[in-house]
């Protein structure tokens, strides 16, 4: 699921990067900043989801709506921004009937209430293809405080929020590919796939502490690669430190190759950031306070690229295309 | 082409209108306003285009890119805003190769230069369906000066910029449905279909004069209906006053039913606005100065709905779904 998106990103970025506005952020940070009221900047981000790629045709429409909003809110969280509102574009086949639309709207309403945001406008078009949904999310930060991708420094620790791999494993569970898992574990993973938790409160608390940050949507290794590339640094991940949910741990016990779900799959929408080692204690306390695990999983080094090591220090090869073939 | 969009608009609006943010504009104005730097507001608008609906699979990719940008810039023009930048979302099938992407990017670059805007960010996803492209455009106005849909007053005249119907007739020409037209006329219409001219300079000059304004994307009668509905007024259009290009006039001479292209089809992206009758002379002068025709085509009345009359005063029935059956 995430792999085509990653390929797409690289395929497109080559052509679109030169078009980036000199005033906004470089395209590779994937959000834009524009001046707001005095002392504030708006953070703008757009994310699209496609039926059959990012959600399944049978997924409940209310949860599709929530996922659409949440993947965008997760981008705002990844910059330390507070959400303001969103624009919505829907391309729907005629076959999506009133019931689907009503449920879709209920999902939006539920998350608008949960996250304190409103719909600011949108466009609705017909398509003969799959449901294609796009949101442009608007957040705000105090001027100059947005946490970008480009601030990682050698000596930093690499941190992630929550647990990794649940989203990808949830999709596998929904597709019947994890038959040996207990029902409760399959349900847990499916829920994580369908309803990401944007880490908005944590993201805002990391302003001033995180040197570089983004949310994980293309997969840990790929996204850490993005941070390293624009920060001109390297990173090493200790695989045994990856935070795993009990359900993910059970799945990986049955099939150790599924560790790749935590390393290379998208759909986690957890925060990935780097910070000075001295911040670790404070970060653990913040996570505790907010009820979100914050885990150090590796280090930033001079150099280029991202390496992954197992408990014995041996390299784990993560083929960014590998996830596709699970 | 525009008809499915109109239906879609109404189908969706019922569900989405209740979700509109109290702080932003009502969803029916289709743009959002948020506070910018002191004295300024940002105007936010999103518009999507789908292959096979809003453009043809064989349309040159650079022109598809330009149309995508221009339909969004046209929305900004319809509020009297100056463009700032845009976010881009692309959902592309794998079959769109590097050549297509390169041409698409060239088209964006060309229009960025022409309209003085930059790409602020975006998302790229894969799809198994048709090319689906979405832009969120950002413009700016002096605080409180955006021209909304809801200001039309009984006694106003109804004005349009440029000529009407060219876009829809251009699509017909491209589909080989206007064989009796001369080649030059067919080319003119096809160009109007493929490359709308967002009336940005005119829109900004209308701030303070236009009481209500929007760009025509769903068709004249439908869009004037939107203005009337939110302004609580009625309007009457004099069909013989519709500004027609020589090519459109020729097509309508061959087939008088094609007048419906000017009345009910979308894809014109001209400005539609109302203003006091005393402003007519000044408006003609502004149009002259900018090289864009400004034509009074009817009047705003007390009541509800939009009526169209022919030269003898007899009603012309415009079935909003009629265009589909050309």
Q: What is the pLDDT of residues A205-245, one digit of tens each?
A: 999 999 999 999 889 999 999 999 999 999 999 999 999 99
**Average per-residue pLDDT in chain A?**
89
Q: Give the other-Cβ count within 10 Å of B208's Cβ.
A: 11
Chain A CB contacts of B13 below 8 Å = 124
Chain A CB contacts of B34 below 8 Å = 36, 42, 84-85, 120, 138
Q: Of A48, A85, A105, which is closest to B123 when you measure between CB atoms?
A: A48
Going B80 to A43 to B67 to A47, the CA torsion angle's sign is negative
Measured CA to CA, the distance from residue B147 to residue B82 in angstroms comes to: 12
A19 in any annotated domain: no
Last residue of a domain, one of A142, A157, A172: A142
Task: For residue A227, give every residue at least 6 positions away whose Cβ sits within 8 Å of its Cβ, in sequence order, or none.
Answer: A149, A150, A152, A212, A214, A235, A272, A274
Q: How far is B154 from chain A (nearest CA, A)?
A: 28
Based on the fold, state whether residues B248 and B133 are members of the same structural domain. Answer: no
CA A59 to chain CA centroid, Å, is: 19
Last residue of a domain, one of A142, A168, A195: A142
Based on the fold, state whether residues A241 and A274 are members of the same structural domain. Answer: yes
pLDDT class of A5 with cuts at 50, 70, 90? very low
For A70-121, how does the pLDDT look when each residue is reduced to its tens digit (9 = 90+)? 999 999 999 999 999 999 999 999 888 788 989 999 999 999 999 999 888 8
Which CATH number fits the domain that encloses residue B163?
Answer: 3.90.650.10
Measured CA to CA, the distance from residue A153 to residue B162 in angstroms comes to: 56
What is the count of structural domains for chain A?
2
| Nearest in space to A197 (alpha carbons), one of A255, A279, A111, A126 | A111
Based on the fold, state whether residues B250 and B101 are members of the same structural domain. Answer: no
Mean pLDDT calculated for residue range A128-149:
94
Q: Please give the structure tokens belonging to residue B263.
A: 């009345």
Interface A–B counts its CB contacts (< 8 A) at 252
What is the model's pTM?
A: 0.85
pLDDT class of A324 with cuts at 50, 70, 90? very low
Q: Tokens 């061959």 belong to which residue?
A: B254
Based on the fold, state whether residues B183 and B94 are members of the same structural domain. Answer: no
pLDDT > 80? residue B207: yes
Mean pLDDT calculated for residue range A176-194:
95
In this prediction, residue A23 carries a pLDDT of 58
B209 in any annotated domain: yes
pLDDT > 50? residue A4: no
Q: How far is B277 from chain A (nearest CA, A)?
A: 32
In this prediction, residue A25 carries a pLDDT of 52
B274 in any annotated domain: yes
pLDDT > 50? residue B1: no
Chain B CB contacts of A126 below 8 Å = 4-5, 7-8, 50, 53
Contact A48 B128 (CB under 8 A): no
Measured CA to CA, the distance from residue A52 to residue A321 in angstroms comes to: 18
Domain of A111 in residue numbering reads as 31-142
Based on the fold, state whether residues A153 and A294 are members of the same structural domain. Answer: yes
Based on the fold, state whether residues B213 and B162 are members of the same structural domain. Answer: yes
A258 in any annotated domain: yes
Measured CA to CA, the distance from residue B261 to residue B169 in angstroms comes to: 7
Contact A90 B31 (CB under 8 A): no
Based on the fold, state whether residues B176 and B135 are members of the same structural domain. Answer: no
Contact B46 A7 (CB under 8 A): no
B17 in any annotated domain: no
Chain A CB contacts of B35 below 8 Å = 36-37
pLDDT > 70? residue B27: no
In this prediction, residue B10 carries a pLDDT of 61
A21 in any annotated domain: no
Report the percentage of chain A scoring pLDDT > 90: 74
pLDDT > 70? residue B3: no
Mean pLDDT calculated for residue range B200-207:
98
Contact B8 A126 (CB under 8 A): yes
A13 in any annotated domain: no
Based on the fold, state whether residues A176 and A123 are members of the same structural domain. Answer: no
φ and ψ at A276, to 5 degrees? -65, 145
Contact B48 A89 (CB under 8 A): yes
Measured CA to CA, the distance from residue B295 to residue B220 in angstroms comes to: 13
Q: Tokens 């949440």 belong to which residue?
A: A70
For A36-69, how does the pLDDT look when each residue is reduced to its tens digit (9 = 90+)? 999 999 999 888 999 988 888 888 999 999 999 9
B11 in any annotated domain: no
In this prediction, residue B185 carries a pLDDT of 97
Based on the fold, state whether residues B165 and B102 are members of the same structural domain. Answer: no
The helix or strand, by DSSP H or E, that contains position A202, with its residue range, turns out to be helix A200-205
Mean pLDDT calculated for residue range B150-175:
96
Based on the fold, state whether residues A173 and A301 are members of the same structural domain. Answer: yes
Q: What angle do CA A143, A160, A298 make, to 5 degrees?
A: 110
Chain B CB contacts of A36 below 8 Å = 34-37
Based on the fold, state whether residues A164 and A134 are members of the same structural domain. Answer: no
Strands B118-126 and B82-92: parallel
Q: Of B32, B50, B112, which is closest to A121 when you measure between CB atoms?
A: B32
Which CATH number fits the domain that encloses residue B105?
Answer: 3.30.1330.10
**Average per-residue pLDDT in chain B?**
89
Farthest CA pair distance, chain A: 56
The helix or strand, by DSSP H or E, that contains position B46, with its residue range, turns out to be strand B40-50
For B38-86, how does the pLDDT look when each residue is reduced to its tens digit (9 = 90+)? 999 999 988 899 998 888 888 899 999 999 999 999 999 999 999 999 9
Q: Of B16, B112, B130, which is closest to A19 when you measure between CB atoms?
A: B112
Last residue of a domain, one of A108, A142, A176: A142
Burial A177-189 (b: 16+ CB within 10 A, else e): ebeebeeebbebb
Alpha helices in A234-296 (DSSP H): 246-254, 259-264, 280-290
Q: How far is B296 from chain A (nearest CA, A)?
A: 29
DSSP assignment letter at B277: G
Based on the fold, state whether residues B209 and B115 are members of the same structural domain. Answer: no
């Amino acid at each position: 699921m995430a792999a085509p998106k990653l390929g797409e990103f690289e395929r497109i970025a080559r052509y679109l990067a030169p078009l980036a506005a000199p005033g906004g952020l470089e395209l590779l940070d994937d959000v834009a900043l524009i001046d707001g009221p005095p002392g504030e900047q708006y953070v703008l981000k757009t994310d699209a989801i496609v039926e059959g790629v990012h959600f399944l045709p049978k997924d409940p429409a209310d949860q599709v709506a929530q996922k659409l909003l949440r993947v965008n809110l997760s981008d705002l969280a990844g910059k330390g921004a507070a959400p303001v509102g969103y624009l919505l574009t829907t391309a729907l086949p005629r076959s999506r009937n009133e019931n689907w639309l009503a449920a879709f709207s209920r999902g939006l309403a539920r998350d608008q209430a949960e996250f304190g945001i409103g719909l600011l406008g949108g466009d609705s078009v017909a398509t003969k293809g799959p449901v294609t949904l796009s949101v442009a999310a608007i957040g705000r930060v105090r001027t100059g405080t947005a946490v970008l991708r480009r601030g990682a420094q050698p000596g930093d620790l690499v941190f992630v929020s929550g647990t990794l791999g649940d989203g990808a494993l949830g999709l596998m569970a929904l597709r019947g590919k994890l038959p040996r898992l207990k029902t409760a574990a399959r349900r847990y993973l499916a829920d994580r796939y369908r309803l990401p938790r944007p880490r908005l409160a944590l993201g805002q608390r990391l302003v001033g502490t995180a040197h570089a940050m983004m949310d994980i949507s293309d997969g840990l290794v790929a996204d850490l690669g993005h941070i390293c590339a624009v920060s001109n640094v390297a990173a090493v991940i200790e695989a045994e430190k990856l935070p795993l949910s009990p359900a993910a741990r059970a799945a990986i016990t049955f099939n150790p190759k599924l560790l790749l779900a935590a390393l290379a799959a998208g759909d986690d929408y957890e925060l990935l950031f780097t910070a000075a080692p001295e911040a670790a204690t404070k970060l653990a306390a913040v996570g505790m306070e907010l009820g979100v695990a914050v885990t150090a999983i590796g280090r930033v080094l001079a150099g280029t690229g991202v390496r992954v090591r197992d408990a014995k220090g041996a390299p784990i090869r993560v083929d960014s295309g590998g996830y596709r073939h699970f």
